[in-house]
Structure 1
């Protein structure tokens, strides 16, 4: 398939909050820089895949009116759409699959029709946040199983048992094939509890969006930011879908490791992944462990050790994503990375922020009925809980976009650079760390032999030293030398027991 030529169009002047306005002349200079937009005349979703912009959300398959799009897993364990009959796209369709694709549409201005976004957009948090709490599930078993306090599981179980929802779309357990999780609509407490824990690889959640259209049932969804954007775009095409969903829970997402990360971990442990009984990406007390169980082995490693695999296995599209805070969700939930909480070393806490005031009564009823323990917090606490990922996702986004376009020659999504002005506290180390992150991904993510050779011949501490250095550069606050910070910072990821 021949791809259309990219268009160069000018960016809008900077808009948004007082923070953005304070960026000054540097922001104005950036706003004048042309943007690279994907061509709106792309025939179907295969153009998105060929330009490496697919988020693997699967919404295109659900949106296709002719059911000619199927999701196929490639040799890198990624689910990509394929069009079986392009004649249907040419003769009978108006690129509906591209119109609901979050991979090509990330510009915040696209959400101005959304009632929870609009002029209140904030470059740090996304759409306005009306309420913020930190807390956990009050159910001892749920909290013990959830590394970050089991807040989402506790909330969903409460809403289901109190009759406020009839089901929830989530990633559940696959007892027949533990290597791959199921996308399911859970309708019982047991099904919700079986889905506990993080899953650090993309799943095509959107493939089941159309099943949520119902005249009588009410659903909740638990989605990553890219999934949520696709859902919002699909709701514009299918108004009944929007009416059926009463709660959209968005997960805070820094980046997705990809299934290759767990495959590499199993290979290092000399485990045949096909024979596993269970894979847990995060289990045990905070911060949690990655664990693989087979008939004769039970291996685990601290989550920090596993996360050092991210730059080597993540997808290109994740490296240019700006949606850390799940900006189009009703409610946003993530780890409460706050020193005053992490120092407790207990069962874990989560931060929860409400964007859509209409769902606040659902949260308040869970508090009132004792299903959740939540302490009031402010928006600043919410932002502070994600300070380090923010330096990657937001502060140096323009650095990554320019690097991807000019050095790597990659296609960029629709995104307005003026939303991310130079007023952000970036510095030399932030920019260098982001470039090294992208170079590492570019070199190793799709080159399995090279990546495996690196793991085989480079000492584990050497690999962790490289990734730790990149992360510390990205998180550098511009005060003091990087070397002094590197020497003084004691990161638990240096634990090489695994």
Structure 2
């Protein structure tokens, strides 16, 4: 995938950003010196006429005749699927559900499989942002789910420019696709994603525009620091916001207007190019769904289970059928909208 054009920045701005399709994955921010991620938005800093067009090539929403040809089954290629949960009380107390992602990243860090992890932080009152975690405490500080675009890959780009290697990354499917594209953009054949040693994807149906969602919360909340967001599995159809004062619930019909439009073109719910993919387990708040995709992921999981850090169980057939159905529905919706957009 090599696109030779001096209009890379122009095409990215016109075809993605100005069309309202940017999903704030953060891949271009810092990878190209002319883009930055600032308070929930990708900002072009200055004109660029480089013929490398790398910013355009790595954008998961940019269309240039190349895409990931994955398994059409809905969840992509995989080796095994488990129900899994952490056995660490501290991790479980902070986790969104089963604590699998934090457990695996901490295990990988302490075992020396990675030197640091690219995660998403709450942003200290501003928008969620990419964060380079280099300790157990750092990883735990990023526990829990965010439901807005985060610009997380900007932290990966900063780490790569600083010469860091053996990196783990936790991200959404769009971010996994951007990382995949990073491996193919150099005419020299250099794999720019080679310093990444571990990729864990989070299931995602869509993400919200941070600024629009934040405005909604300001108008509809009675104050108090937010400590957790949750969208329980169907049929709940609600967003739950937990603050220090109380718990509030909002119908998803009130939230859907803030969905990033680029998310509606996405065909990947589970992060098909990752080593491991993790999501909720429908019907259980204390377990995660865990998809093992690569040998690297399988080896890491086996080590964590052997150390007693994770408990795994057989994945129920009913949950498997629901997972396949949801994934295929997202693929079909995204494909249909892409076709309509390109007419």
Regarding TM over 0.5, the answer is: yes
TM-score (norm 1): 0.59
Q: Does the CA contact (< 8 Å) of 2:147 and 2:207 recur in 1?
A: yes
Deviation at 1:351, TM superposition (A): 0.8
Summarize the Cα distance change of 1:381–1:251 in structure 2 as closer, same or farther, 3 Å threshold: farther
- List aligned pairs for 1:284-295, cutoff 5 A: 289-293=240-244
RMSD of aligned Cα (Å): 3.2
Aligned-partner Cα distance in 2 for 1:370–1:282: 28
- List aligned pairs for 1:305-384, cutoff 5 A: 305=250, 307-337=252-282, 342=283, 347-377=285-315, 383-384=320-321
Summarize the Cα distance change of 1:134–1:279 in structure 2 as closer, same or farther, 3 Å threshold: same
Aligned to 1:68: 34
Deviation at 1:399, TM superposition (A): 4.2
Summarize the Cα distance change of 1:306–1:279 in structure 2 as closer, same or farther, 3 Å threshold: farther
Aligned pair 1:43/2:35, yes or no? Answer: no
Q: Does the CA contact (< 8 Å) of 2:21 and 2:260 recur in 1?
A: no
TM-score (norm 2): 0.84
Aligned pair 1:393/2:338, yes or no? Answer: no
For the pair shown, the structure with the greater C-alpha radius of gyration is 1
Aligned to 2:220: 268
Q: Deviations over 1:166-211 (max 9, x none)?
A: 110001244xx32433421111111111111100100112222233
Q: Deviations over 1:371-402 (max 9, x none)?
A: 10012438x66643435633641244444345
Summarize the Cα distance change of 1:106–1:326 in structure 2 as closer, same or farther, 3 Å threshold: farther
Aligned-partner Cα distance in 1 for 2:74–2:336: 17
Task: Return the structure number with greater strand share.
Answer: 2
Task: Return the structure number with greater helix share.
Answer: 1
Aligned pair 1:110/2:67, yes or no? Answer: yes
Summarize the Cα distance change of 1:204–1:216 in structure 2 as closer, same or farther, 3 Å threshold: closer
Summarize the Cα distance change of 1:381–1:243 in structure 2 as closer, same or farther, 3 Å threshold: farther
- List aligned pairs for 1:98-497, cutoff 5 A: 98-105=56-63, 110-111=67-68, 121-126=71-76, 128-174=77-123, 177-213=124-160, 217-237=165-185, 239=190, 241-259=192-210, 260-271=212-223, 276-282=224-230, 289-293=240-244, 298-302=245-249, 305=250, 307-337=252-282, 342=283, 347-377=285-315, 383-386=320-323, 389-390=326-327, 392-401=329-338, 404-405=340-341
When the two structures are aligned, how many residues end up with a matched partner?
A: 329
